[in-house]
Chain A
């Protein structure tokens, strides 16, 4: 599905508005949209709403063998899925440019900054380490997917609890969440990315562009920072030339924004911890907004079961006897093998053919009638085998197809076909 293209007048309107320091949603140049962070039922599931952009992150873990050159470090795996739900332009399965870009940026932001202590993920050095997998799903694309993804990923990592592991000598026991409390990951710092979009060759800049603004921007500068004012990653794309003081200004703005966002994330994690400790229900189901007109909740309802068994018995008794299914109009004579019900047999063609031939040889003349039917099957098989020979890429060099001596098949006796000879075999088969 293609996305609707941006019209020229829309583009001109947006650029004109930006020149006059106006944004479509009334924000100021350095304002972020409203950020809302909620958590799912299980540990490591986090939803982030950045205005209308919605993103979900899920963290999971698995025990695997470590990399050869890093035997005592755990592995982090990031995957950003641009779900086709987020935008009609996203297609399932295809690695688009945007998807590659976002994946790389998230990896650099989280993995290369070493925000997670990977050595603590080691269980048995050289044999078993934890692989932490972060899947980020885009649910709605209204601009600035990178920031939303980075907030969701780092919050989900902070929220995640991995199963506890006990080591006694050579034995390693992984305890389930019911046996022992799962333990959180050790996170050194929280890198959060802030995006700046540039217009008119770097003259105007906007923080947190929405989808329309992203379409008309010239270039994007992404700065990933943590609250200690350490830059974890910087990426400038779009080919715009930025002056040094512009970059410095952006990093100052970024540090302010990052500290605000980090505070928000901290509060959300605290709230969630409190709710879970109090034993309350938590998760997406709870966060369904009740006061909205488009949302409705219904309590647990029992289902009437009064006449169920009567109705069921009625139906079963009224139903007629199931018709005797006739397998195939051809009744195989004892001693004749047949695979399938008269359809084209596409497995083990060579062996089948030989088996049938042996049996037909054994049964002899009794089967004149049967042989004609068998011949028909064989014709089909031949055709299909002809097809198979043509298109298959089997390793077998030579496929020898033998046919019993029958008047109709005089032409086709004992030809051999192999990959190279496919053309000649085809000729031989033409009837």
Chain B
């Protein structure tokens, strides 16, 4: 593994200080796929966005703040509902667990107490799944919430990391890479302090590997937040 370390700086030595297995990360594998985003593409929802990671594409639509059913209302906050629609078939348990992950992230960053007794509905539609689906959902959700103009305390982004059979960390894996990975992790990172808002993992990995993946995701999130800034800047370039 030592040979694969790309940086040849004097930092090499300190890397192998402590005990345990140290996975050197090959930077040629650690890259984010092509990103694309379009906002305000649907006329009915209050906010809408589509987000693309390579071939994985997702649509997000937000309605709110709107009227809420009495059975679901919360007296001091808005009720956030997330719906994930798969491409084929009816939503199943997998979609429900993904909905929960997205909902918890959104609830952590939205200022829900500004709209008590209202409902916010976020609908995510899978257009094509080629890996890193949950992080694509998170990114699309954030862009749609921005497009809807809902007040948020911070932005968030999703990054998926996979650890393959050799112990290499791969960010933004494709479906083929996900299938062959030993562990798959998705983190939602916030924009103010790069904290982890939500994590969803599958597979087995060591504590060290987990921390490395979190560190990688935090670095990768810089790029994604820069992309958000560029998109919004472009969008308002003609008006501001």
- A→B interface (CB under 8 Å): 1-2, 40-42, 45, 52, 54, 56, 58, 60, 81, 83-88, 92, 133, 135, 137, 139-142, 283-285, 288-289, 292-313, 315-317
Contact = CB atoms under 8 A, between A and B. Distances in A.
B79 to A, nearest CB: 11
A289 B14 CA distance: 47
Interface stretch (B55-63, B103-111, B180-188): B55-63
Nearest to A1: B66
A312 B208 contact: yes
Contacts of B18: 313, 317
Nearest to A60: B88
B17 interface: yes
7 contacts: A85-B61, A140-B45, A300-B32, A301-B31, A306-B9, A311-B211, A316-B211
Contacts, number: 185
The 4 A-B pairs with the shortest beta carbon distances in the complex, nearest first, are A312-B211, A85-B61, A295-B38, A85-B123
B38 A292 contact: yes
Among B36, B50, B54, B230, the most chain A Cβ lie within 10 Å of the Cβ of B36
Given A1-B67, A85-B59, A283-B55, A293 B235 contact: yes
A69 B238 CA distance: 64
Interface of B: 6-7, 9, 11, 14-15, 17-18, 22-25, 27-28, 30-45, 48, 50, 52, 54-55, 57, 59, 61, 63, 66-67, 83, 85, 87-89, 119, 121, 123, 125, 127-128, 130, 171, 207-208, 211-212, 214-216, 219-220, 223, 227, 230-231, 234-235, 237-238
Given A40-B128, A295-B37, A312-B212, A285 B66 contact: no
B44 A142 contact: yes
B38 A288 contact: yes
Given A288-B38, A288-B52, 6 more contacts: A135-B87, A139-B125, A140-B43, A283-B128, A293-B238, A305-B6
Contacts of A313: 17-18, 22, 208, 211
A77 to B, nearest CB: 11
Contacts of B11: 306-307, 310
B128 A88 contact: no
Contacts of A305: 6-7, 25, 27, 30, 216, 219
B31 A300 contact: yes
A40 B83 contact: no
A309 B125 CA distance: 36
Contacts of A84: 61, 63, 83, 121, 123
Given A88-B63, A285-B54, A52 B35 contact: no
Nearest to A58: B87
B85 A294 contact: no
A194 B18 CA distance: 72
A299 to B, nearest CB: 6
Contact of A140 (B25, B38, B42): B42
A70 to B, nearest CB: 24
Nearest to B27: A305
Contacts of A60: 88
A83 B125 contact: yes
Nearest to B91: A92
A294 B231 CA distance: 7
B31 to A, nearest CB: 4
A220 to B, nearest CB: 20
A296 B227 contact: yes
Nearest to B42: A140
Nearest to B220: A303
Nearest to B233: A296
Given A1-B121, A137-B125, A303-B30, A308 B219 contact: yes
B38 A308 contact: no
A395 to B, nearest CB: 26
A293 B208 contact: no
A56 B216 CA distance: 35
A283 B223 CA distance: 24
A284 B7 contact: no
Contact of B215 (A54, A133, A302, A312): A312
Nearest to B18: A313
B88 to A, nearest CB: 5
Contacts of A285: 34, 36, 52, 54-55, 57, 128
